[in-house]
Amino acid sequence: MTNRHGEISSSGRITTIEQLEAVYGEPSPRSLTKEIDHISDHYRAFIDAAPFVVIATSGPEGLDCSPRGDPPGFARVIDEKTVLIPDRRGNNRVDSLRNIVVDPRISLLFLIPGIRETMRINGRAEILTDPGLLQSFVTQGKQPRSIIAITVERIYFQCSKALVRSALWAQDSQIDRATLPSTGEMLAALSQEPFDARAYDEGYPEHMAKTIY
């Protein structure tokens, strides 16, 4: 809760596992049943259908959460313990990859348009640059610079409550992009040098088409 100054007070703050468990109680038995240490046939069907995944990593400079997307099947299941994800062209910050180099722990959250359940993987990752492997992921004539190889330690599906509450896939919940600041406007506000936000926004679709792969 907050005090009269709008600051968060220490009253009711949870600082121990015992306090946490006292508030939430025991996990439901089914939430534990669905967690396994390998990719089952049913779980593979979700991964194969997903065009989007969020990757979470940890490193010495902190945490990173990064989106990855491509046509369904881009996350390639090799066997019941291994998933390969191409690292497509981006902004070259490579925050996730930097983290993986020093801390291989990784979490994945797969989303499928129109499907309310999500698929979660916890495991360990490594970065591969084998030429033959990179070539097998060529899209629009371009190959990724590297492949993230994930060894599955835990995998389970997340129930639909969060997506139902958010109405994420509902057509009437779509937001008009023009109601939010444009990327050019945000960059202009942060730039220390003169920056033409309008020119940036107008030119971005062409830039995207040239650099998406």
The reported pLDDT for the residue numbered 201 is: 96
Task: Share the mean pLDDT of the chain.
Answer: 94
pTM above 0.85, yes or no: yes
Check residue 196 and give its pLDDT.
96
Bridge pairing between strands 118-128 and 52-59 = unpaired
CATH topology of domain 26-166: Pnp Oxidase; Chain A (2.30.110)
| Number of C-beta neighbours around residue 14 at 10 A | 12
pLDDT tops 90 at residue 141: yes
* pLDDT tops 60 at residue 50: yes
**Residues in CB range of 148: below 8 A, 6 or more apart:** 55, 84, 85, 86, 87, 96, 97, 100, 106, 125, 126, 127, 128
What's the rounded mean pLDDT across residues 120-138? 98
Residue 78 is which amino acid?
A: I
Chain region(s) in the chain for CATH 2.30.110.10: 26-166
pLDDT at 3: 62
Q: What percent of the chain shows pLDDT beyond 90?
A: 88
According to the model, what pLDDT value does residue 10 have?
67
